[in-house]
Structure 1
Amino acid sequence: MVTLEPMARCHAFGYALPRGAFILLAIPVMVLFFVQLPKAILPQRLDPVVLPCRMSATHSNGTDCVPFHRSLFPDKFVFGAATAAFQVEGAAYEGGRETNIWDTFSKTPGKTVDGKDGDVASDQYHKYLEDIDLMSQMNLDAFRFSIAWSRIMKLGGPNPVVNQEGVAYYNNLINGLLKKGIQPYVTLYHWDLPQSLYDSYRGWIDRRVVNDFALYAETCFAAFGDRVKHWMTFNEPQQFSNLGYGIGLHAPGRCSDRMKCPEGNSATEPYLAGHNALLAHAVAVDIYRKKFKATQGGMVGIAVDCEWGEPMTDSPADKEAAERHVLFQLGWFLDPIYYGDYPAVMRKYVGDRLPLFTPDEITLLKGSLDFIGLNHYTSRFVAAGTPPANALASSYWEDQAMVSSVTRNGELIGNRAASEWLYIVPWGIGKTLLWLTERYQKPLLYITENGMVRMCVDILPGPLWTISSGPWATLGGLG
């Protein structure tokens, strides 16, 4: 997918631009493409739409560029837009919405740039009809959005209660999309755990979250499944498990380092969080298939993410380290679904800190998806490293026993985008898709996130980095 997301640091003028040409495989893929800017600086009509350019064989300076066009893609190729509830909705205290962990985290001093929060965000809660009109003008086929758990369920009392105002909002959003011929692709969880569940039992590290998620998922299936045909249980469980429970960079901000986090255990909690997310996924899919599949006819998948690992050298050790890096990302969540357990290399390197599945859980997990959503942004060179000396020194990254780098023999893996972690490596997504295809026997794949970030420039349309990773090229259209 091509994702264009607003950048908090850039305020009104920052957004991410897509990375360049795509590698198409003999499998279905989905490109999601999103620009959201303040309405005051948007043109009346978005024609042409911002799209990457396909470089000609003779291209040298960015002027000889063939714009992408729908005719270059298969008839069933899906173009869309992607958001997350906390990123865009706003209305944090309206419509019966309760507090989530990102509300709390973003209001903690020092946790976000300039203390920014999601109280208003892009105000999509109030402006969703305008956004739908813009998507229609862009000729989009699909809109991927997440439902805010804390807008659907009231959990602050003795018993969970469905918030009908929240249900009405998403009904209006879905109906508005369908009226314009735009299909909803819905994510159930994009990192915004209700604060009450964190206060009760610390969220994803407690097995009780599985039942609470199951109730929430069933509520959504019942309310929206007659119109929503593509569901994703989770967005990037690797990220919220590690960044939230391993290094404390994201909500709820847990880690072993007491200089950074008030509580947490980096050696165990990421794996507990990931384990419970997998079980919650499996239970939700089981509910859908038993109660809703026959009448609604939809599909349920999961959106995972991967930073491709390219071996630093041709040595067996570096090749094993690069493969290990990918397995710790994709295999962590997909191997249990396809094969019933975590990758053997994770069992070897993490040991008894990696939870076990019961026979019943294995049965529930195996086969519990209809498609894989891939989020991919960048790649790294990977060399063999040294495993941690003991469990106290362990964490998700140290357990991989590898060293990643953006350079090899003094050369960058690609040009750096505005985000310090994001290097533009067009070939990485193709290798990741091939890896998924080979390991999981040609699954149905959607590219659910992909893009690059350009710092604080007000352009629409304007120049765009191309697959040549250097010169600027002009923009094409989506007509």
Structure 2
Amino acid sequence: MNSMTSKLHFDFLWSRTIPLGGKGNDTINENGLQHYVKFVNDLLAAGITLSNDNIVTLGSPHSILGYNTGLFAPGCYRDRSKSVGLDSSRDPWIVGHNLLVAHGVAVKIYREEFKTIGGGGEIGITLNDPIYFCEHPDSILRQLGNPLPAWTEEDRALVQSSNDSYCMNHYCVHFIKNKAGESDPDDFHGDIETLMEGRNESEVRSEIQSEWLCPCPLGFRKLLKWLSDRYGRPKI
């Protein structure tokens, strides 16, 4: 492998090392942990290292898919017979809040214990309004209100400014319009409708072989401009 590359990216499979996600008496699977220890040591021995110095703690922190639609794990939200006591209109926001706090803890540990050792790498997360402002966006506050967890001072201290650059996943562009009437409590889009094409013929995106991935260069450009204005021209 070292004849082909000197750098590598890989994803850490948490279920290999913490099989039950830390629930109950769940313990670390030492065999799974040693798998990664050996894997990394073998890479280093071959002169292969990480692909860059930019660390994203949570690459796709999309709690909606797990705790609203149930498309991803834990998945019980898709089968209401298995979701007694769960609330898909509330739980995604609690999970999202906890993701931010977990990110803040990881950043604190990295900056205090590992940053100088690793050569000063940058760290961030792809979930941004609370990182820059330590508040949920106004649109979410207006739409949801009480379901949103309150920020404690300890949370704020961990989360605020816990990124060195703006991190973003961008897949496609949606067009939106105001939704008529009240939104369903489970509808994470709130008071808007998302559309796959615009009202003007010139805005219709090129069709590709995907149900949801459609290119829209102008939309991407507008997004970058909006992000730059909103967050004070951060490094992206």
In the superposition, the TM-score normalised over structure 2's length comes to 0.83
Query: Pairwise mapping of residues 235-314 of structure 1 onto structure 2 (< 5 A)?
Result: 235-238=59-62, 241-255=63-77, 258=80, 262-263=82-83, 264-296=86-118, 297-302=120-125, 304=126
Deviations 1:3-40 (A, max 9, x none): xxxxxxxxxxxxxxxxxxxxxxxxxxxxxxxxxxxxxx
CA distance in 2, matches of 1:442, 1:143: 30
Q: Given that residues 245 and 253 in structure 1 are in contact (C-alpha distance below 8 angstroms), is that contact kept between their aligned partners in structure 2?
A: yes
Match of 1:160 in 2: 28
* Other-structure match for 1:459: none
Residue 439 of structure 1: aligned partner: 230
The share of aligned pairs that are identical, in percent, is 32
CA distance in 1 between partners of 2:117 and 2:9 (Å): 22
Residues 49-448 of structure 1 correspond to what in structure 2 (within 5 A)? 129=1, 136=5, 143-153=8-18, 159-160=27-28, 162=30, 163-173=33-43, 176=46, 178-179=47-48, 183-185=50-52, 229-238=53-62, 241-255=63-77, 258=80, 262-263=82-83, 264-296=86-118, 297-302=120-125, 304=126, 333-386=127-180, 388=182, 393-399=184-190, 401-409=191-199, 411=201, 413-445=204-236
In 2, distance between residues paired with 1:170 and 1:233? 18
- Letter of the aligned partner of 1:184 in structure 2? S
**Structure 1 pair 403–376 and aligned structure 2 pair: CA distance change class (3 A):** same
Secondary structure class of the residue paired with 1:295? coil
Q: State the distance in 2 between where 1:384 and 1:158 align.
A: 46
Larger Rg: 1 or 2? 1
Q: CA RMSD in A?
A: 2.7
Residue 233 of structure 1 contacts residue 284 of structure 1 at CA under 8 Å; is this kept in 2? yes
Q: Tell me if structure 1 keeps the 8 A contact 2:18–2:26.
A: no
Distance (Å, rounded) in 2 between the aligned partners of 1:433 and 1:172: 39
- Checking the alignment, whether the CA contact within 8 Å between 2:205 and 2:214 is kept in structure 1 is yes
CA–CA separation in structure 2 for the residues paired with 1:164 and 1:243? 31
Q: State the one-letter code of the partner of 2:15.
A: S
In 2, the alpha carbon distance for the partners of 1:158 and 1:145 equals 25
Q: What displacement does 1:350 show?
A: 0.7
Which letter maps to 1:166?
A: Y
Q: Secondary structure at the match of 1:288?
A: helix
| Structure 1 Cα separation of the partners of residues 182 and 78 of structure 2 | 15
Kept in 2, the 8 Å contact 1:266–1:396? The answer is no
Q: Deviations over 1:369-408 (max 9, x none)?
A: 112222112111111114635xxx3125342x11121223
The letter for the 2-side match of 1:362 is R
- How far does residue 253 in structure 1 lie from its aligned partner after superposition? 1.3
Structure-2 separation of matches of 1:247 and 1:355: 20
The 3 A distance-change label for structure 1 pair 165 and 394 is same
1:370 match: secondary structure: coil
Paired with 2:178 and 2:57, the residues of 1 have a C-alpha distance of 34
State the Cα distance separating 1:409 from its structure 2 match.
Answer: 3.5
Separation in structure 2 between the aligned mates of residue 410 and residue 275 of structure 1, nearest angstrom: 38
410 and 376 in structure 1: CA distance in 2 versus 1, 3 angstrom threshold: same
Deviations along 1:185-209, whole A, 9 cap, x unmatched? Answer: 5xxxxxxxxxxxxxxxxxxxxxxxx
Identify unmatched segments of 5+ residues in structure 2: none
- The answer to which structure, 1 or 2, has the higher relative contact order (CA under 8 A, 6+ apart) is 1
Shift of 1:153: 4.8
Kindly tell me: are residues 340 and 408 of structure 1, through their superposed partners in 2, closer, same or farther at Cα, counting changes over 3 Å? closer
> What's the secondary structure of 1:274's corresponding residue?
helix
Structure 1 unaligned segments of length 5 or more: list them: 1-128, 186-228, 305-332, 446-479
The alignment partner of 2:155 has SS state of helix
